[in-house]
Chains A and B, each alone.
Chain A
Amino acid sequence: MPEILVFATLNGLVTGLLLFMLASGLTVIFSMMGVLNFAHASFYMLGAYFAYSISLWFGYWTGLIVAPLLVGALGALVERYGLRRVHQQGHVAELVFTFGLAFLIEEAVQFFWGPETRNYQAPELLDFPLFTLFGQEFSAYRGFMLAISMSIFLGLYHTLTRSRVGLVIQAAITHPQMTAQLGHNVPLIFTMVFGVGTALAGLAGVIAGPVLTTFPGMALGLGSIVFVIVVIGGLGSLQGALLASLLIGLLQSYAIAADVGVPDLLAMLGVEFPGDHPLDDLWTLHLAQVAPVLPFLLLVLVLVFRPKGLLGKRE
C-alpha cells in the first residue's frame, strides 16, 4: 500500500508540474489579453515535434534549447499577425481564432510528420533509475522533468514578482495606457509575453514528448485539461494555476492507482444488484475509469459555484 501511495504521489507531481508549465503560460497570456488561447497545447505539441526533428540531427540537448525558442518565435508571430488583428472583433472571435489555429496546427503536424507516432526518445544520459523504492524504479528522466518544471516555476515567479521586467509586465496588465504613457511599448510587451508563454509550452512538449509519446493527438488530450486547470485555479492567477495543476495531477494519479469502485462500495454497504440491468455500467464503475472525467466535472462545478476559481480575483 505505501509504495502505491508514494509512486502515485510522485507521478502525480510529475504530471502536475508538467501541466503547470502549460498552465503558467496560458494564465499569464490570459491576464494580459483576456483571451484563453485554445491553441496553447498545440504549441506544446509543436515543441515535441520540433525537438524530435532536431534530436535526429543534433541530439536531444540541442533540441531542448532550440525547439522552445522556435516555438516561441512562432507564437510571437501568431500574436503579431493573427491575434492582434482579430482582437478588434472581440473575445469570442479571438477564441474562435485560436480554436481554428489548434485545428490547423494538428493538421499541419500530420502534414509534415505524418499521422503515426514518432519515436522520440529520452537521452541516454538520463536512461537510468534514479532510485529504487519498494522494488520499483523511478527513472532519472522523470526526476529531470521534475527539476526542470520546478525551476521554471521558481524562475517565472521570481521574474514576474521581483524583477523590473515583471514590474513592467504587471503594469501593462493592469494599466496598459499608463504604461504606454511612461514610454513602454505595450503591444511589444504583449507579443513578447505571448512568445515566452508559448515557448514555455514548447519546453513542456520537449520534455514530455519522450514520456507521453509524440503523436498528432497529443495536444487535444492535454489542451482541455490545461483549460480546466487555468479556470479552476482562477483565471490569471499563477499560484492558483500551480495549485490546480498539482490538484489535477495528483487526483488523476490517485484515481488510476486506487483499485476501488462502485462494487467495493456496494459490497461495503451489503447491497447487491442483479446483473444484466440497463444501468449495469453504473454498478460496475471503477475509479480508474472515471479518472479522465474528473477534471471536467471539477471544471463545471467550479464555473457554476465559484466562477472566480480557487485563487482568482475576477470572473
Chain B
Amino acid sequence: MSKTLKAKAGLWGGYLAVLLLLPQCFDSLLAISILNQMTIAIIFALSYNMLLGQGGMLSFGHAVYFGLGGFLAVHALLLMERGSASFPIVFIPLLGGLTGLLAGVFVGSFSTRKAGTTFAMISLGIGELVAASSLILARFFGGEAGISGDRTFGPPLFGIEFLRDVEIYYLGAGWTFLATLCMYLFTRTPAGRMANAVRDNPERAEFIGYSARWVRFISFCAAGAFAGIAGGLFALNYEFLTDENLNLATSGRVLLMAYIGGLGFFIGPIIGAVLLTLMNFLLSNYTELWLLYLGIVFVLTVLFLPRGCAGFVMMHESAWRRGTLHLLALPYLLTGLPALLFVLAAVCLAELSHATGPTLHYLGLSLARDSALAWAGPALLAAVGWILTARSLPRLREAWERANAAEPERRT
C-alpha cells in the first residue's frame, strides 16, 4: 500500500467514523433531525457538484431528480402500506436513485448537447415544467398539499423497524458514505476525468476522439441518480413531499450550497451542505432575516471567493508549502476583527429595524427600539469597523504577496 493510498484510506475511515459517531455526541431529538437533514443535503450537493463543478453544466432544475426520486419513494411506502409490496425500506433510496437515473436519461438525451447558457436554460425550462405539472397532476403529486407515507410498514431489517429518527440517521449515514464514495470514485474513472476535460475545453476533447455530448450525458445521468438517492432519503426521513421539493427554490438552494462550499473541490459541497444546514437551523429560529443574510453571503461569495470556502482554504496551499503561513496570521487578525465588528454591528441594526417587541436581545445585550442610543451605538461601531477594515486591507494584500513571493526553501 503506497503512502498516499494509506492516507486516503485513513481519510475515508475518518469520514465514516465521524458519520457514525455524530449521533453519540449530539443525541437530542433536534440534533438528530439536523444530522438527518445534513446527510440528505450532502448527497444532493455532491450530486450537483458532479454537474456544475466537475462537468461545467449549470443547472437550475436539479431539484427535479431529487423530487421525482422522493415522490416515487413515497409512493413505494404507500404501496407497502396497502400491502401490495414488501421490501426493507433500506432499499427505498435505491428506488429513488433509479427514478432519478431514468429521468436523467430522458432529459439528458436532449439537454446535454450543449453546455453553458443553452443547458442552463433547458434545465430551467424542465424545472418549471415539472414543477407546474406537479400541481396539475394532483393524483400523483398530491397538488399543493403534497403526499405523505408511513415508513413503518416495511418488514423490519435485523429487527430494526425504523420507528425512531436515530435509526433513520444510521440508514442515511450508510447511504451518504456509500454515495460519497461512489461519487468520489466516479471522479477517478475515465468518464469522470473526461467530464473535467469537456468542462474546460470541449473542442479539444472532441479532437482527441471523445464525444463531448456523450461525456456530459454520463455525468448528467449519474448526477440525476444521486439526486434521486437524496430524494429517497428525504422521503424516508420526512415521510412527506410537496411540490416545493422539485421546484426552483430547492434547485436554487442546492446551487447555493455547492457554490458557497466550493465548486470543483470534491469536499466543497460537503462543507457547504453541513454549513448551510447548520446555519439554517441555528439562525432561522432567531431571525426572520436569515435568508437575506444568506443572499448577501452568496453574492459576496460569487464576487470575491469564486471557489467557495474550500477554495479559500486551498488558496493558502502555496504559502503552507513555503512555510510562510505565519506571515499572514497577524494581518488576518487585523482585518478579521474589525470586519467581524462591522458585521455584528450591521446585523444588529438590521435586527433592530425588524424587532417584533419593544426590546431586542442581541449578543447578551438588551436594546430598546425607541432609544436613540440603541441605534447610534451599533451605527457608530459599524462605521468604525468598516473604516478599520478598509485601512487594514493594503497591509493584508502586502503580507499576502510576501507570503507567496518568498522563495520556497530548498530541500536537499
Contacting residues, chain A, for B138 (C-beta < 8 A): 281
Q: Indicate if A65 sits at the interface (CB-CB under 8 A).
A: no
Q: How far is the CB of A75 from chain B (nearest CB, A)?
A: 15
Q: Which of B110, B122, B129, B296 contacts A104 (CB 8 A)?
A: B296
Nearest-CB residue, chain B, relative to A304: B110
- C-alpha spacing A42/B251, complex, angstroms: 18
In the complex, the chain B residue whose C-beta lies closest to that of A282 is B137
A129 an interface residue at 8 Å Cβ cutoff?
no
Q: Is the CB of A92 within 8 A of B58?
A: yes
Contact B117 A89 (CB under 8 A): no
Interface assignment of A303: CB less than 8 Å from any CB of chain B: yes
A100 and B252 CA atoms in complex are apart in Å by 9
Binary CB contact string for chain A from 103 to 142 against chain B (1 if under 8 A, 0 otherwise): 1101110110000000000000000000000000000000
Q: Are A96 and B259 in contact (CB under 8 A)?
A: yes
Nearest A residue to B58 via CB reads: A92
Contact yes or no, B136 A303, CB < 8 A: no
> Are A97 and B121 within 8 A (Cβ)?
no
**A271-315 to B contact mask, C-beta < 8 Å, 1/0:** 000000011111001000110110011011001100100000001
Residues A103 and B128 in contact in the complex (CB < 8 Å), given A89-B306, A281-B138, A307-B114: no
Do most interface residues of chain A lie in helix, strand or loop, or is the interface mixed? Answer: helix
A296 smallest CB distance to B (angstroms): 4
The answer to whether B303 and A85 touch across the interface, beta carbons within 8 angstroms, is: yes
B129, B255, B259: residue with the most chain A Cβ atoms closer than 10 Å = B129
Chain B residues in 8 Å Cβ range of A107: 289, 291-292, 294-295
Does B390 interact with chain A (Cβ within 8 Å)?
Answer: no
Q: A104-B298, A300-B126, A307-B118 are in contact. Are A96 and B56 (CB under 8 A)?
A: no
Q: Are A95 and B122 in contact (CB under 8 A)?
A: no
A103 and B252 contacting across the interface, CB-CB below 8 Å = yes
Which of these binds chain B: A206-214, A224-232, A237-245, A251-259? A224-232
Bound-state Cα–Cα, A292 to B298, Å: 30
**When chains A and B are docked, how far (Å) is the Cα of A44 from the Cα of B291?**
21
Whether a CB of chain A sits under 8 angstroms from the CB of B133 is yes
B contact residues, total (Cβ < 8 Å):
43
Give A282 Cβ to nearest chain B Cβ, in Å.
7
Do A227 and B121 touch (CB < 8 A)? yes
Do A92 and B52 have beta carbons less than 8 Å apart?
A: yes
**A36: CB under 8 A from chain B?**
yes
Contact: A315 with B118, CB < 8 Å?
yes
Complex CA–CA separation, A303 to B112 (angstroms): 11
Min distance, Cβ A34 to any Cβ of chain B, angstroms: 8
Q: Which residues does chain A contribute within 8 Å of B325, judged by CB atoms? A: none
- B58 lies within 8 A of A96 (CB): yes
A145 close to B (CB within 8 Å): no
Q: Which chain A residues border B122 with CB–CB below 8 Å?
A: 299-300, 303-304
Q: How far is the CA of A36 from the CA of B116 in the complex (A)?
A: 11
A82 adjacent to chain B (CB < 8 Å): yes
User: How far apart sit A54 and B147, CA to CA, in the bound complex (Å)?
Assistant: 45
Which residues of chain A come closer than 8 Å to B136, judged between CB atoms? Answer: 281, 285, 289-290, 293
Contact B303 A103 (CB under 8 A): no
Q: Report yes or no: A92 in contact with B137, Cβ–Cβ below 8 A.
A: no
A residues near B303, Cβ cutoff 8 Å: 82, 85-86, 97
With beta carbons under 8 angstroms apart, the residue of B140, B298, B299 that contacts A278 is B140
Q: How far is B347's CA from A111's CA once the two chains are assembled, in angstroms?
A: 13
| Chain B nearest Cβ from A219, distance in angstroms | 12
Q: Is B3 among interface residues, defined by CB-CB distance under 8 A?
A: no
Q: Which residues of chain B are within 8 angstroms of A278 by Cβ–Cβ distance?
A: 139-140
Residues of B within 8 A of A228 (CB): 125
The residue that B248 contacts in the complex, of A96, A220, A299, A307, with Cβ under 8 A, is A220
A99 CB–B CB distance under 8 Å: yes
Contact A303 B128 (CB under 8 A): no
- Tell me the smallest distance from the CB of B59 to a CB of chain A, in Å: 11
A101 within 8 A of B: yes
Chain A residue contacts of B126, Cβ below 8 A? 296, 300
Chain A residues engaging chain B, CB cutoff 8 angstroms: 36, 82, 85-86, 89, 91-93, 95-97, 99-101, 103-104, 106-108, 110-111, 220, 224, 227-228, 231, 278-282, 285, 289-290, 292-293, 296-297, 299-300, 303-304, 307, 315
| 10 A/B residue pairs, CB under 8 Å, sorted by A | A92-B58, A95-B58, A97-B302, A103-B252, A107-B295, A111-B350, A220-B248, A224-B128, A285-B136, A297-B129
Nearest 4 A/B pairs, CB to CB: A104-B295, A299-B125, A107-B292, A300-B125
